[in-house]
Every structure is written in C-alpha cells, then in structure tokens.
C-alpha cells in the first residue's frame, strides 16, 4: 500500500525536478509555444512545495485536490488548468483514503488522464501531454495485469512516457499555440509531454 506520507514525499521531489528543469522546459516551449512552460510550471510547483508540509496527516483526496487547485491558480497558460484537472480528478477518486493500492492509484490516474482529455478537448497523437500520459497509463495497466509490482510498473510507465514525449517530435499539433505552426512544428518535442515525463520518472525513482 502507498501511504499519504509517501505521496507527499514524491510530490515534493516532483517539485524539485520541475524546478530543476525549468530552463529546459522553457527552451522546448520557445519554438512552438509561449516560451514560458518551464517558468510557469516551476512557479506552480514552488507553491505546491510550500503547501505540502501542511498536508501531512490529510487523506490522499485532499492532498491531490490541494495540489490541483494550487496549480490552477498559479500556473499560467493551458498547463495550469490541465495539470490542475488531472490532480483534482485523482483526488476525487481517492477521497477519504489515507493509503492506496497500486490498482487504486491506476484508477485515479486514469481519471486524471480522462480529465485532461475532456478539459483540453484532446486525444492521443495531437502533440500534447496526453501523448506521454496515455502510453504511461497503458504500460502501467499492462504491467499490473502481468502481476508486476508497483516499482516495475512505474518504471515501465516512465519508459512509455519518455517514448511518447519523444514521439511528439513527429507530430503536427492540433491544439494550442503550437497548432499555428502546422508542419513547421515537426521536429520539436512537446513541453507538456516532457514535464509529465519528469513527474512519472521521479515517482518511479522514489519507489
């Protein structure tokens, strides 16, 4: 079982990673976005890190909802509402739980991924964060179905997310500012898919 204290630790480490990669994420955003993804995400997770100590002892639903609401209110552009929705949907799935099985985590994560798709009106192969999230979900579900433990499933999810993020270089964006570029966006990796990849890689490393 994964306890709420462990989730807070992982979220804190995710914040560290996003802040550490701020410049690279912004560099990825420069040719196809608003040149601020890393700056905005670092700002949001700086605020998340400030709130985490006050969440000790809270249930998982409250933890994820607080992270989501913090990202919505502090991250500019589309990333705040999209990541915020993902965390809030996960929180709704984990209401009142102080610990979760990996299967419960996957159910919550699936709700988060579906929330991103609904909020952004997007799907796979559109050069968005979903191109990392959906492969990660499928890989973890498959690993779980084979009886692998959380550590191995997260590793496979992280590998699938990385492959998905790199695959966005081959895609033409149909959503957001990147869609204005058409074929000129080919060759550029989506920053949202990359920031999600950092999140799941960090989670996998912590386990």
pLDDT in tens, 87-121: 999 999 999 999 999 999 999 999 999 999 999 99
Whole-number Å distance between alpha carbons of 63 and 49? 12
Whole-number Å distance between alpha carbons of 198 and 42? 12
CATH architecture of 2-206: Alpha Horseshoe (1.25)
pLDDT at 178: 53
pLDDT at 35: 75
pLDDT tens sequence across 33-74:
677 899 999 999 999 999 999 999 999 999 999 999 999 999
CA dihedral 120, 52, 3, 152 (to 10 degrees): 60
| pLDDT band, residue 181 (cuts 50/70/90) | very low
| pLDDT band, residue 182 (cuts 50/70/90) | low
pLDDT tens sequence across 112-168:
999 999 999 999 988 999 999 999 999 999 999 999 999 999 999 999 999 999 999
Residue 1's nearest CA partner among 153, 162, 157, 149 is 149
Q: Write the DSSP assignment of 128-157 as a string of letters.
A: STHHHHHHHHHHHHHHHHTT--HHHHHHHH
Q: Are β-strands 2-3 and 99-100 bridged in parallel, bridged antiparallel, or unpaired?
A: antiparallel
* Domains in the chain: boundaries: 2-206
End-to-end CA distance of the chain: 12
């Amino acid at each position: 079982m994964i306890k709420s204290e462990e989730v807070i630790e992982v979220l804190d480490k995710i914040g560290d990673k996003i802040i550490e990669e701020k410049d690279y994420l912004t560099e990825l955003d420069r040719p196809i976005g608003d040149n601020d993804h890393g700056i905005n995400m670092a700002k949001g997770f700086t605020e998340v890190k400030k709130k985490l100590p006050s969440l000790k002892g809270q249930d998982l639903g409250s933890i994820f909802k607080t992270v989501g609401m913090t990202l919505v209110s502090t991250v500019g552009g589309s990333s705040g509402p999209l990541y915020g929705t993902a965390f809030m949907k996960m929180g709704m799935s984990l209401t009142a739980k102080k610990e979760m099985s990996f299967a419960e985590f996957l159910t919550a994560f699936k709700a988060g991924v579906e929330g991103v798709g609904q909020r952004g009106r997007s799907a796979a192969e559109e050069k968005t964060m979903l191109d990392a999230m959906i492969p990660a979900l499928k890989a973890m579900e498959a690993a779980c179905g084979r009886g692998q433990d959380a550590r191995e499933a997260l590793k496979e999810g992280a590998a699938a997310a990385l492959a998905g993020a790199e695959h966005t270089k081959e895609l033409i964006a149909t959503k957001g500012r990147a869609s204005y570029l058409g074929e000129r966006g080919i060759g550029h990796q989506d920053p949202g898919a990359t920031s999600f990849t950092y999140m799941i890689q960090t989670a996998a490393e912590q386990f």
